[in-house]
Homo-oligomer: A and B are copies of this chain.
């Protein structure tokens, strides 16, 4: 937990560790060595130890790592212990799928509202949360501190709603819409492009056939 710059690539591996450690807990495994974890995750044990040591080291010589402690600490690094609040904008199929996605709550994310501008869904409930009009977004955010906006609207409207959300203080955006967002300094955006892995998959099966 020190402040020497941790490489981005290490950060992007943390969610994967977090996931595997959760699996171990589900199997009632309370303790694991870097060797065993690396075998399961298909990486080198050196990498596992190096990664963890960017944060000071969570293990004990001769013993290994306590699974629960390690997962909790990784969660803290990722800021999951803060219980990020989130809203979903867009209640189409994707927005609904995200609203119902169990993994978010499991990682401490709290879905506090869903917005859409389709009359037909306004007032209906998704996973217990009533869908509000996008027109109510600004007012809502005035009264409620929200950390993250999950954007699941068509490309044409995404910049607009993101601007509103940013203006009202939202700092994190998970964008599922096509196209890049232009947002003010100090906001963070993660873009999810679901065709990307499909394309790399296409490459791999093509290569597999050619060989």
Q: Please name all residues of chain B whose beta carbon is closer than 8 Å to the beta carbon of A78 when the two chains form the complex.
A: 199-200, 202-203, 206
The tally of residues in A whose CB lies under 8 Å from a CB in B reads 56
Asked if A84 is at the interface (CB within 8 A of a chain B CB), the reply is: yes
Interface 0/1 of A37-68, CB less than 8 Å to B = 00000000000000000000000000000000
Contact status A208-B190, CB under 8 Å: no
Contact B107 A198 (CB under 8 A): yes
Residues of chain B within 8 A (CB-CB) of A109 are: 198, 202
Which of B96, B192, B196, B205 is close to A147, meaning CB atoms less than 8 Å apart? B205
- What are the 5 tightest A-B residue pairs by CB atom distance, in nearest-first order? A79-B206, A93-B97, A94-B97, A15-B196, A188-B204
Instruction: Enumerate 9 A-B pairs (CB-CB under 8 Å) in ascending A order.
Output: A14-B200, A77-B203, A103-B178, A103-B194, A109-B198, A147-B202, A148-B198, A174-B201, A188-B201
